[in-house]
Amino acid sequence: MRTEICDLLDIDLPLLAFSHCRDVVAAVTNAGGFGVLGASSHTPEALEAELAWIDSQVKGRPYGVDIICPETYEGKGQELTDADVVGLVPEEHKAYVLRLLADHDLDAEQFGESLFVMGGRFNDETGARLLEVTLKHPVGLLANALGVPPSFMLEAGRSYNVPVAALVGAKEHAIKQVQAGVDVIVAQGGEAGGHCGDVSTMVLVPEVIEAIKPHRSVPVLAAGGIVTGRQVAASVAMGAAGAWMGSVWLTTEEAETAPYTVEKMLAAGSRDTVRSKGRTGKYSRQLRSDWTDAWEAGLDAPAALPMPLQSVLSEPTLRRIDQLAAKGHPGAQRLATYFVGQGVGLMTRKRPAREVVLEMAEDYLAATERLAGTLG
Ligand SMILES: Cc1cc2nc3c(=O)[nH]c(=O)nc-3n(C[C@H](O)[C@H](O)[C@H](O)COP(=O)(O)O)c2cc1C
């Protein structure tokens, strides 16, 4: 199972795991894959603690860090405080959320200070602070999503000799990334959990590989809907250097996914997700729930706000909903949702992350044997 990404990142298996959970990152890295910690929602102090912990667990094995610096967001170039951003959220939207909660037997008091406050802010300023912390650790990859990485990230990658990866959902974006100097492209299809475009992985991967060929040769990782080794084999058959996966780790024993949401994910089929702007203001795939339905309710729903304003409505509110759902509140349980891809239909039991990696390697082997068998 050796591809060019194994040589670039010094790993045994071309299996990359995006996770916000340090335990998943360490478990995948220790199993021979490559864990990538999603750092965007951390403060610099929290990130420092997480990376120090990962260092102590992986003992020199390689891992990466993903920091989102979106190319576009509301207020870019203006110095808006959190209070300024919250102040930009229209009353109509707040009233809509309050109505939605009331329809689910939830009132503002149950949310206390977690209603209409800043819920995660990704920008160049926070990104630069997180990058500074990251570079004090022996990281083997920097990753960025939602556009071309800022020049400070590309320059840091070059001066610290750390490859920089970028997530793309369209071939035009891949060309832009390669021209900007990115070292690894993650071609992420519309099946993916989290922010994604609408081209499927099966089409996007070969399309991106062909599109960047005339520009520069960089490894392309396939992402979106990949949960099994046979899908990794299919990705490699299409020309990818390996797979980048996010959803499959959400139901592992190490993951910190809210317990009720894990139950929902294990019971969900591949048609139980939706690509919606209702969580962050940009399209992202999530588990379908009364929350996501509310933002897709046609004329009854206000249009989702641009990033980061929609997160003021959703992020802290949904985290509180997770807590209430775990306590058995039926309305909160109907609203509870999280980012997950269509591969959720293949995620049917809770397992250790290491077991997922090893099973993937076995399934990959069986798939390649099947392919070889077709040659007669
Ligand atoms: C819960 C969740 C959160 C995500 N957050 C980020 C993120 O902060 N930065 C990022 O680059 N990608 C993020 N992604 C996308 C993943 O990096 C990855 O591309 C995607 O999960 C691949 O598709 P899959 O979910 O079908 O495996 C997230 C994905 C999930 C499921």
57's tokens: 């667990």
| Lowest-confidence pick of 94-98, 223-227, 295-299, 340-344 | 295-299
pLDDT at 253: 98
What is the location of CATH 3.20.20.70 in the chain?
A: 4-73+122-250+351-373
pLDDT at 15: 98
For 310-336, what is each residue's pLDDT tens digit?
999 999 999 999 999 999 999 999 999
Of residues 77 and 165, more confidence is placed in: 165
Find tokens 């005339």 and name the residue: 214
pLDDT at 122 over 90: no
CA nearest 266: which of 279, 256, 254, 252?
Answer: 252
CA-CA distance, 85 to 373, in Å (whole number)?
59
For 40-89, what is each residue's pLDDT tens digit?
889 999 999 999 999 999 999 999 999 988 777 777 777 788 898 899 99
pLDDT at 283: 95
For residues 194-216, give the mean pLDDT: 97
Nearest-atom number in ligand 1 for the CA of 342 is 26
pLDDT at 324: 97
pLDDT at 69: 84
pLDDT at 77: 74
Of residues 213 and 68, more confidence is placed in: 213
Nearest-atom number in ligand 1 for the CA of 339 is 1
Contact between 37 and 16 under an 8 Å Cβ cutoff? The reply is no
pLDDT at 169 over 90: yes
Q: What phi, psi does 277 have (nearest 5°)?
A: -90, 0
Of residues 36 and 126, more confidence is placed in: 36
pLDDT at 74: 76
**Mutation test residue for ligand 1: of 15, 16, 18, the one with most atoms within 8 Å of CB:** 18
For 28-37, give one letter per residue: b (16+ CB within 10 A) or e.
bbbbbbbbbb
pLDDT at 276: 95
374 alpha carbon to ligand 1 midpoint, in Å? 34
The single-letter DSSP state of residue 150 is P
pLDDT at 346: 98
pLDDT at 85: 87
Pairing of strands 284-287, 273-276: antiparallel
Confidence of residue 123 (pLDDT cuts 50, 70, 90): confident
225 alpha carbon to ligand 1 midpoint, in Å? 11
pLDDT at 22: 98
pLDDT at 82: 86
CATH of 4-73+122-250+351-373, one of 3.40.50.620, 3.40.50.10540, 3.40.50.2300, 3.20.20.70: 3.20.20.70
pLDDT at 114: 83
Tell me what the pLDDT averaged over the chain comes to: 95
The fraction of the chain above a pLDDT of 90, given in percent, is 88
The binding-site residues of ligand 1, defined as CB within 6 angstroms of any ligand atom, are 18, 38, 40, 66, 68, 143, 145, 167, 188, 191-194, 223-226, 244-248, 339-341, 343
Contact between 60 and 41 under an 8 Å Cβ cutoff? The reply is no
